[in-house]
Chains A and B, each alone.
Chain A
Amino acid sequence: MSSRGKILSAIRANQPALTTMPDVESLKAYGNKENLLTQYTTVATNIGAKVYEVKSLDEVKTIIQNNFGAGKRIISTIAELSDIADTKEYLGSLPVQLADVELAVLQSDLAVAENGAIWITEDQMGQRVLPFITQHLAVLVKAKNIVATMHDAYNIIGISTQGFGAFIAGPSKTADIEQSLVIGAHGPRSMSLFLLDD
C-alpha cells in the first residue's frame, strides 16, 4: 500500500466517533462595532504602523513626496499615482528584480480594527513578493472598509478564488535577540496606512 493509503487507513482506524462541528456564528456578535476608525488607528499605531487619515489621493501624494526621497524606486498598483510611482513596468520584472524597491503603495479593501491588519490579495499586490521585499510599505484603505474582528473579516473574504492573500499588520519585526523589539527584520522597515475618508 502507498503511504497515502497507509496513513489514511491508520487515521480511520484510530479517529474517535464523529463530533459535531461547532458554530462560529455566536462569536460574530462580539467585538466593538463602534468607532472603528479610532480603534483601528490605536491598534495599528501600537504595532508600529504610521496612520494617516486622508481625504484624497492628492494628500497621499504629498505625504509620500515629503517622506520618501526622490530618485528612489517607487511602485504602485494604484493607477492614479502614476505621476509619482511606476504603475506598469514593474509587472514585467522577475521577483528578484524588485529587490531595490524603496516604497510600494498598494490598495486594500479590508482592514481589521482588533489587530490593525489589512487584507490584501495577489491582484492588489501587483507581484506577490512586492509587499514583502519593498523597504517601505504603504497601503491605502477606505475608512468605511474597517471591520471589528477577524470573524467579520472572513465573512467578507468568503472563500475567494485568489491564488494568494495575506493579512499584514504593521512593519516586519523580530524580538528574537533577548526579546528586544527590532523593526525591519526581513520585510518592510515601515508601514504607512492611508485611511481614506470619502
Chain B
Amino acid sequence: MICRRHPFLCIVPPHILKEVTQKGTDRQKEWAWRTLTMSEQVRGQRQALGTIAALGVTPVGQKRRSVYDAEHGDVLPGRLVRAEGDGPTGDSAVDEAFDGAGVTYDLYDQEFGRNSIDDLGLRLDSTVHYLEGYDNAFWTGAQMVYGDGDEDLPEEERLWNRFTSAVDVIGHELTHGVTQYEANLAYRSQSGAVNESISDVFGSLVKQKTLGQTADQADWLIGEGLFTSNVNGVALRSMKEPGTAYDDPVLGKDPQPGHMNDYQNVPYDNGGVHINSGIPNHAFYFVATEIGGHAWDQAGQIWYVTLRDRLRRNSDFQDAANLTFRVAGELYGAESTEQQAVRNGWAQVGIGVVAAAAKGRGKKKKRAVR
C-alpha cells in the first residue's frame, strides 16, 4: 500500500535518502526528509535512524537550538523557554545552555565539517533546572540535561554550582551524542572510558576554542568552576594531571589514573568509565602539547576522524591507540610529527601502538553518508 503511494519508499535505502537530504536539490531534500520520516514510522526503525522523526524537514547546515525548563521537576523536556533566534532570557542556566550548545555546534561545524550531533542537522535540545539540588549533567540519548547543583542549600553549605556554568560540560554532553551516532562505544569498562574520554577531549576543545587558547595555554581541566569555594579543588578532572583535580574532606579525592599502571578495575560506575578515562585523556594531552598550536587543528582532527570512521562499539584503549596512530599517518604522513606525537602520547600512559591491524576489528567503518 505504501509502495503504491510512495513508490520509492520501499526501494530506496535510508542511507541513499540521507545522501539526498544533504546533496539533493531543495525539492529532493524535502522529499527525502519526508520519505525518511515516514519510512521510519512505517518500519519502526527508530533506532537505525536515530531521532529523525522528530526532525521534520530541518534544513541542513543550521543550528537549531532549543532550551527547556524542567522547573525543578523530572519531566523531560519541560517547558520551551528559548528557541533559535530568540534573545537572551536573563536566566543564566538557560542562556549558558543555549550559548554552550552554540559554540559546541560551531566547533564541530567549523573545525570538523560536522553538521550537528548526527551530521544531519539534528536539533540540539537542552533542559535546565532539572530537579532540585541535582549535581549532575547527562545525555539521555536524545537531549542534554543540566542540574543546578546545590542551589537549594544555604550558600555556606553549597559544594556545586549549576552545571551549565562550565562550557566544557556542555561540549562533553553534546559529544556523547556525536559518539552515539558514530562509534557508538559501549558505556562499560574500557570502551566506556574511551567514550567518556572522547567527551572530555571535545569538551575541552570547545573551551579552548572559545578562549582561543593553544595547547600550552589551556588548563586542560574538565568542569572548572563547578565547585564552589567550599570545596578544595579546581575542577572535576584534569587531563594534564589526572588525579589532581580535587582533594576534599567531603567529596574525597580525584580518583583518576593517568597511566595504565594505575588502571582501576572497579565494579561500580559501569566499570570505572569516569575513572579510567583519565588514561586516554592524559594521552590526548601529551599528543596535543607535543604537536603544539591549537589542539583542535591536528590532535583534534586525528581524534575526530578516529571517532567518526574507525572506533567501534567495543574498541578498547589499545584499539584507540592503534587507530589514532593509523589515522595520524593517513592525515599527516607516516612518521610525520603528528604521527610520532600520537605514538609518544600513548607511550607516556603505558600503551604502545601496534602499527599493523593485527586485531581485525577497528577496521574501516563503512559510512552510510559521507
A binds B: no
**Chain B positions near chain A (C-beta within 8 angstroms):** none
**Chain A positions near chain B (C-beta within 8 angstroms):** none
